[in-house]
Amino acid sequence: MRQFRKLWQITRKDLLVMGKDRGSWIVLLLTPLLIIMVASFALGPAFSGELKSSLLYTNLDQGGVGKQLVDGLREVEGLELVEGTEAECQALASGDTKYKTCMLIPTGFSSKILTGSNTGLQVYVDPSDNASRPFMVGMIDGAASRLSGMVNSVKVSVVEVMKFAPEAELPVVASDAAQTAVEQMNQDPPVAVEITNAGAAADVNMFDTQAPGYSVMFLLFGVMLGAEGLLEERDKGTLGRLLVAPVAKSSILGGKLVAQFMIAMVQMTILFGVGHFVFGMHLGNSIPGLILMIVMTAFTATSFGILLASLVKTRRQATSVGTLVIILMSALGGSWWPLSIEPEFMQKLGHLTINAWALDGMNALILEGANMQDILVDAAALFIYGCVCFLVGIKMFKFRNA
């Protein structure tokens, strides 16, 4: 009991010291909040449906099929059609235009479609446009595939009609079949697509995807400051003098761990609270599950700070090494982008980081509507991770400079 009382006294002392350091609170709260806001608002149009890709098009065809093709593309969500000239399309080919993709519908396009003849679309793309080029080409290719299917059905229909009515006029049969196929394709598609949100999660907004990742990253930066403070006390001899008192080493480091843990909890709670009440961030369907993930993340990050302090010799090393490690962990573990877009081997490496386990659980709760049971593995992994860091940190930490 006496050791627990000493532990709490050390915890209380560290909390008072941190409370007087306004600069550290700016790093812990204001900086991550500003970064999350900037990143979220920058990506906001992508989540609100306001982000559109512009497609320059030139219709040299005078028939109805070319017009229906353009009308169909106008209805594609996220695609904005801008009518231009053939010269503007050619300017895109030379890189002399603000547009990145141009579709040219050739002369006689409709007549060839209606007679079942082969034809094509000319598409000019900017090779440097890696962001929207796959989407644009995919939309045009999909429209061309539907027209190709229609042409094939017209050909089959004409062949079958001519078998049973050889006296019929071939151009008339082909024209009627094609016109019917075009109307059927646009008015009543044979294969409809129904889109439903998977799981129990509501539509996500910009803060849902950005806040967890950046919160975990800045939580790690916060505990790095705690590690620097621990090394500063060692350099000044404070820790060495504590060893003279009847206080166990585990109580000394434990008290600092508890203080840093409480600060980390406050940091995460405030960031998620501001995100929810000010910016409409979803907290998922299981608040207890989210609290568990925040507690486990704060514990593991704090233990990592103890380990960091045990591996370096000076405050300067703690800053440089800690910054490098945290940046690598954040990039590899999914704080900057979804872990799912990384190659498989990097996803496995990512789970060597705190970030990956924390974000697996938080994203499952916030984005996928998971419940408490679904994130127990992630919480357990964080707890084991934190225990290992703390035990190794206590074992290796030197209370006095060599």
pLDDT of residue 296: 93
Specify the pLDDT at position 195: 46
Tokens describing residue 388: 């290992």
CA distance 243 to 6: 12
Report the pLDDT averaged over residues 95-117. Answer: 75
Q: Is the pLDDT of residue 280 over 60?
A: yes
Residue pair 301/260 in contact (Cβ under 8 Å)? The answer is no
The predicted pLDDT at position 243 comes to 64
Residue 38 confidence class, pLDDT cut points 50, 70, 90? low
Please report the pLDDT score of residue 383 as a whole number. 94
Q: Which residue has the higher pLDDT, 397 or 377?
A: 377
What's the CA angle centered on 219, arms 335 and 400, to 5 degrees?
Answer: 130
Average pLDDT over residues 171-178: 63
Q: What is the pLDDT of residue 297?
A: 92
Mean pLDDT confidence for 245-252: 67
At residue 384, the pLDDT reads 94
Please state, in angstroms and rounded to a whole number, the distance separating the CA atoms of residues 365 and 227: 31
Residue 12's pLDDT is what? 64
The residues facing 48 across adjacent strands are none
- For 248-275, what is the mean pLDDT? 78
Cα 220 from Cα 173, distance rounded (Å)? 72
Asked if residue 81 lies in contact with residue 55, where contact means CB atoms within 8 angstroms, the answer is yes
| Pair of tokens at residue 190 | 């044979």
- The per-residue pLDDT for range 347-393, each reduced to its tens digit, is 888 889 999 999 999 888 888 888 888 899 999 999 999 999 888 88
Domain 52-187 in CATH 3.40.1710: yes
**Residue 201 Cα to chain centre, angstroms:** 16
Query: Read out DSSP for 201-256?
Result: -----HHHHHHHHHHHHHHHHHHHHHHHHHHHHHHHTHHHHHTTSS--HHHHHHHH
Of 69 and 26, more confident: 69
What pTM does this model have?
Answer: 0.64
Q: For residues 335 and 163, which has the higher predicted lDDT (pLDDT)?
A: 335
pLDDT of residue 106: 86
Paired with 124 in beta bridges are 102
Output the CA torsion sign for 267, 268, 269, 274: positive
Collapse the DSSP code of 22 into the 3-class scheme (helix H, G, I; strand E, B; otherwise coil) and give the result.
helix
- 153 or 337, which is more confident: 337
Over residues 88-112, mean pLDDT: 75
Supply the mean pLDDT for the chain.
75
Whole-number CA gyration radius for the chain: 31
The winner for highest mean pLDDT among 165-179, 237-251, 264-278, 349-363 is 349-363
Backbone angles phi, psi at 120, to 5 degrees: -165, 165
Q: Regarding predicted confidence, which is higher, 382 or 282?
A: 382
Q: How many CB atoms lie under 10 A from the CB of residue 133?
A: 16
pLDDT number for residue 203 = 60
CA separation for the pair 268, 280 (Å, rounded): 16
Residue closest to 156 by CA, chosen among 173, 169, 143: 173
Asked if residue 87 has pLDDT above 60, the reply is: yes
What is the spatial distance between Cα 304 and Cα 103, in angstroms, rounded to a whole number?
A: 54
Tell me the mean pLDDT in the region 78-92: 77
**Bridge-partner residues for 125, per DSSP?**
101
| Structure token digits, residue 396 | 């290796």
* pLDDT digit string, tens, across residues 292-308: 999 999 999 988 988 88
List the single range of 34-48, 150-164, 171-185, 212-226 with lowest mean pLDDT. 34-48
Q: Is residue 11 pLDDT above 70, yes or no? A: no
Q: Is the pLDDT assigned to residue 36 strictly greater than 70?
A: no
